[in-house]
Amino acid sequence: MHELMHRLWPICRSITGEGVRETLSILAEKLPELKVHEVPTGTRCFDWIIPKEWHIRDAYVIGPEGNKIIDFSINNLHVVNYSTPIDMDISLDDLQANLHSLPEQPDAIPYVTSYYKETWGFCLSHETRMSLVAGNYHVHIDSELKSGSLSYGEIILPGKSEQEIFVSTYVCHPSMANNELSGPCVTAKLAEWLRTRDRRYSYRIIFVPETIGAICYLSKHLEHLKENVIAGYVITCVGDDRAWSFMPSRNGKTTGDNMARHVLKHMAPAFKEYSFLDRGSDERQYCSPGVDLPVSSIMRSKYVTYPEYHTSLDNLEFVTATGLEESYLVYQKLFESIETNCVPITTVLCEPKMSERGLRPTTGKLGSADSGRAMMNLLAYADGSNTLLEIAEIINEPVWELRKLADMLAEVQLLGIQ
Amino acid sequence: MHELMHRLWPICRSITGEGVRETLSILAEKLPELKVHEVPTGTRCFDWIIPKEWHIRDAYVIGPEGNKIIDFSINNLHVVNYSTPIDMDISLDDLQANLHSLPEQPDAIPYVTSYYKETWGFCLSHETRMSLVAGNYHVHIDSELKSGSLSYGEIILPGKSEQEIFVSTYVCHPSMANNELSGPCVTAKLAEWLRTRDRRYSYRIIFVPETIGAICYLSKHLEHLKENVIAGYVITCVGDDRAWSFMPSRNGKTTGDNMARHVLKHMAPAFKEYSFLDRGSDERQYCSPGVDLPVSSIMRSKYVTYPEYHTSLDNLEFVTATGLEESYLVYQKLFESIETNCVPITTVLCEPKMSERGLRPTTGKLGSADSGRAMMNLLAYADGSNTLLEIAEIINEPVWELRKLADMLAEVQLLGIQ
Amino acid sequence: MHELMHRLWPICRSITGEGVRETLSILAEKLPELKVHEVPTGTRCFDWIIPKEWHIRDAYVIGPEGNKIIDFSINNLHVVNYSTPIDMDISLDDLQANLHSLPEQPDAIPYVTSYYKETWGFCLSHETRMSLVAGNYHVHIDSELKSGSLSYGEIILPGKSEQEIFVSTYVCHPSMANNELSGPCVTAKLAEWLRTRDRRYSYRIIFVPETIGAICYLSKHLEHLKENVIAGYVITCVGDDRAWSFMPSRNGKTTGDNMARHVLKHMAPAFKEYSFLDRGSDERQYCSPGVDLPVSSIMRSKYVTYPEYHTSLDNLEFVTATGLEESYLVYQKLFESIETNCVPITTVLCEPKMSERGLRPTTGKLGSADSGRAMMNLLAYADGSNTLLEIAEIINEPVWELRKLADMLAEVQLLGIQ
């Protein structure tokens, strides 16, 4: 994953344009099911309209001494995303109105966008900004805003059931690592694993520009998604190893929410659950009134909460191989757990005579194996009103361990599994 | 309000009689809609019967040395309310059986009533009582119990809707300030404000003797009240500035309860919520089984809980102009909030494109205005299942501020309001 | 009860055989309604089959020096319950495989059973075991496993209603006091009291071997029990005076559970409520899926939680006369409380005029009698939606005290009782 991330790093993505296409084409190399869709500029998507495509070729500022003091080719955060073209001389005073920096993080270049208001601008570290001297500057942005399309990638992996697990990640930020590339990289590895797996549920995995891409996708597939999605996740900010975070769906109590909490409780018990009021990614669309999909999000350090967020410091050092790998494993366990969930129902009244089935020791001494106890607890709650997840929560065992016991019991006909 | 209170202070009110009538007629001066109703002695009201009217002209005790040592004309608490007439010589020993004082508050005259058992008595400070010397006393009570009627005042202010907000306050205590006069004074000012206001709901405001008056009123209007009242409040103990108290309805979860809590949370967050088990005023009747009106009570220092309660120390010094004014403002905000409550429903799927509607800045930088955030939260929960109050609680904003945002959103057709 | 316990103490009970029959016949002396039922070996009971009967006459081990070093006639825990017959010489090394002791409680003889796997063994204190010297031993168990039957006792005490209170206790452990004899002894005394009482509900009281007996009983009476039992209790571990414990039913919120908690809260407020996950007696069967009887358990020191459990230290010193008596009184109060529970409904709207009914003082002074307050609270919640127990919980009064007030109110026609 870290390798893929290095390859995607230098590409200047935005919500439209060649950066997204190049990103999707690299992802498609290992994911043959990935289809790229193009939605033309001007297409209406609910309250939104697909904007013009943005093309950026070069951007720089030349200082009074004739040097390039800001250069897009060094860091693509230097240009305000969706900047209109410009090429002119300008005094420092006038230039200041189009510069963006962070006085409180003087060594970081901020990430600034202006998708829907036509303007231009440059981002730079506050240190650099402070060092600028009065004089004549030259600004140059070789960009273009023209009719084109919005691009997104979609992978459909059919399962035994038409019910779907939905995964959404975004591909619209330029060189940022945790709040961007960690999402598509972990998602790609999950897709690689899922495509070779025997699947109970179908999987729908999309790589979209944030906000406009999610809205565009919903506008085309809302009815289908509402009918089929049983759980969904926005995969973002899954690359560092500082924290574990959970953003519930607006509903907060769907099976998808509860399974995510369950997996985190057993695999990363120190995770922090945020309020839906702290939302910030595409759950804003997926959980909006009338859409109401069961979409939540397991993250590492959540967007907005870490100081490197939306700056040049959210880079390949902040994200670690361990962070990515752990996130992958947690989502893998999450999907396995959803697949393994079921409604177990006992087949006999009263406790069964376990000793005859070779499932536990026959001498009734003090102290019994934990697995024996868990097995009896599973039977005690398998009354058809509880899912395996609900039983796992009652008896405080991981659902994946409990499923093994359920399968043992099913094998000796003590449990029916629905 | 403090002025009105001074005017009402000297009147010797009781549950019937001229004291109530005089009080109502003073209130009517500024409230032309106030109608006084008379219910004859002997009228049955559920389990109760309207008692004889009590008239009190004078009452005193003359000591062995020939001085008036207890004098009703100095403080009307000195006579047990509803005392029968008496005029006789009596030894101190025999007199003691008809005296009431508070050993633990030796400088306070207690307030004692005997509405339904014919007896007579005098109340005095324990200090005075202790100073009485053996000897011959003369007791004189010039009172009368005779057929007449129970009086109450009623104001009906029609609104656009037949649904009603019900307000009940009582006018049956003699000279006591917080637990009596603060109620009718704040209520009168609220009525003055409400009568000139454009009203969504109708308002029914009654000034009744406590208990028997509330029961009498219910016996005449129960069906109408059950059908129309959406929220009601007993306004009492709203004059001091020591504390804020909330007495919920028996149900405890009506809109009227929740709105009162909401207003207190934002305007007086240190308020104390009592249990319905601590009830003591007319919510006892309004919330009784089979009546079940949504009646609760916002108070300052709650009856029974403050040491001055039901004594001569509950006076015009204990009640302050500030205390009255703040109570008025809180009830005003409460009625406004009930009027402003609604069910907002988004008109578009997904988040709307706010930038086009001039409702928030277009540059997607770190940090956004709080009102912008609150607006998006309002839209996120406006799914038609939540009232504005419920959304206000979820996102922890005052409902009156949220209504302003809702109106802005409705103006640009992003929200429907029901 | 302590006396009865002394009489039952020496009997070597097991899940079948003469020990149970002798125990039941002693119990029957004072309980003429007790019927003993026999269920033949080989009878299927859900997943179980009634085993062969176990008869034990003698068992000992003779050491290298010719002394009986382990002797069943001294303590019947010395032989593994359900041991097959044996009579042979054996080396210490080989004998060790059939010995059971507790290294952590070196002076206690453990209680070990092997009902369903044919084997033999001896139990001894770890001290004794450590003192054994190498050499030739002789083991002798004069036992027999043969076709016969499982015995249990049943008492049916009809009441006015066909609805039943179900009591189950067990009679299958040899000489152990808290976790065995306390149960049948307290139950017998409760039955003695109940049989002479005017009963609203019918009582079904069974003395069964644990697990197999409960399952056997359910297999014969399940439909009847499901239809009629409104509350049930497993009476076990009710003899010591160290603690109070509550084991809820699996459902946890039945009237039987709530009444048990209520009685404990008022009579033994320091009681500990366990989770159903800590279950260990016949609630395992009574609350199993598809059986779902409302069976819970009030205990003193709960099985497994006290160090003497399942050892020779759970003896007649551990159990006290006080412990037994208190347990009896709590269950007695529990049954009385269930009988006394009802749905009270007020007969008048608003508060009734109490002063006319001689139920409270007529002078409205500060401070009123607690019983007066409780009476008004009872009326305030007697709206037909609350049981007396629920009202008792709301107003925090014992349901038995509240019933007295309800009866007073019913007598003056202020309350209807359903």
Residues on chain B touching C368 (C-beta within 8 angstroms): none
| Disruptive mutation site among A43, A47, A212, A306 for chain B (greatest number of B CBs within 10 Å) | A47
**Residue range C98-115: mean pLDDT, rounded:** 96
**Rounded to 5 degrees, what are φ and ψ at A261?**
-60, -40
CA pair distance A237, A179, nearest whole angstrom:
5
What's the average model confidence in pLDDT over A288-302? Answer: 98
Query: Rounded to an integer, what distance in angstroms lies between the CA atom of residue C82 and that of residue C308?
Result: 22
A interface with C, Cβ–Cβ below 8 Å: 345-346, 348-353, 355-356, 362-366, 376-377, 379-384, 394-395
Edge-to-edge strand ranges of the sheet holding B272-273: B35-40, B149-157, B202-208, B164-170, B229-234, B295-299, B245-247, B272-273
Residue B1 banded pLDDT, cuts 50, 70, 90: confident
pLDDT over threshold 80, residue B211:
yes
pLDDT at B2: 83
To which residue do tokens 């019910």 refer? A163
Whole-number pLDDT of residue B358: 74
How many other CB atoms sit within 10 Å of the CB of residue A270?
Answer: 7
Q: Residue C410 pLDDT > 60, yes or no? A: yes
**Interface-testing mutation among B15, B45, B47, B247, with chain C (most C C-beta atoms within 10 A):** B47
pLDDT at B385: 97
User: B368 falls in which pLDDT band (50, 70, 90)?
Assistant: very low
Q: How confident is the model at residue A321 (pLDDT cuts 50, 70, 90)?
A: very high
Q: Mean pLDDT, to the nearest integer, of C100-117? A: 95
Looking at chain C, which residue has its C-alpha nearest residue B289? C383
Residues of A in contact with B353 (CB under 8 A): 47-48, 116
Residues A347-368 pLDDT 10s: 999 999 987 787 754 444 433 4
pLDDT of residue B46: 97
The answer to whether residue A165 scores a pLDDT higher than 60 is yes
- Percent of chain A surpassing pLDDT 70: 98
Report percent pLDDT > 70 for chain B.
Answer: 98
| pLDDT value of residue A360 | 54
Determine the pLDDT at residue B370. 74
Return the pLDDT at A330: 98
Region A1-20: mean pLDDT is 94
- pLDDT greater than 60 at residue B336: yes
Indicate whether B217 pLDDT > 60.
Answer: yes
Chains in contact with A via at least 3 Cβ–Cβ pairs below 8 Å: B, C
Nearest CA of chain C to the CA of A274: how many Å? 30
pLDDT band at A170 (very low <50, low <70, confident <90, very high): very high
Q: What was the pLDDT predicted at B367?
A: 39
Q: Is the pLDDT of residue B342 over 90?
A: yes
Q: pLDDT for B276-323, tens place per residue?
A: 999 999 999 999 999 999 999 999 999 999 999 999 999 999 999 999
Query: If you measure CA to CA, which chain A residue comes closest to B394?
Result: A277
What pLDDT was estimated at residue B10? 94
- Supply the mean pLDDT for chain B: 95
The model carries a pTM of: 0.93
On chain C, the residues whose CB falls within 8 A of the CB of A374 are none
pLDDT > 50? residue B344: yes
> What pLDDT band is residue B371 in, cutting at 50, 70 and 90?
confident
Question: What pLDDT shows up at residue C375?
Answer: 93
Of B346, B363, B376, the CB nearest to A112: B363
pLDDT, position C361: 40
Q: Which pLDDT tens digit goes with each residue over C161-217?
A: 999 999 999 999 999 999 999 999 999 999 999 999 999 999 999 999 999 999 999
- Report yes or no: C345 and C384 within 8 Å, Cβ to Cβ: yes
Report residue A309's pLDDT band, with 50, 70 and 90 as the boundaries: very high
Q: Do A381 and C47 touch (CB under 8 A)?
A: no
For B32-76, the pLDDT digits (tens) are 999 999 999 999 999 999 999 999 999 999 999 999 999 999 999
Q: What is chain C's mean pLDDT, rounded?
A: 95
* Alpha carbon of B352: minimum distance to chain A alpha carbons (Å): 5
Of A349, A362, A382, the CB nearest to C114: A362
The per-residue pLDDT for B297 is 98
Residue B360 has a pLDDT of: 54
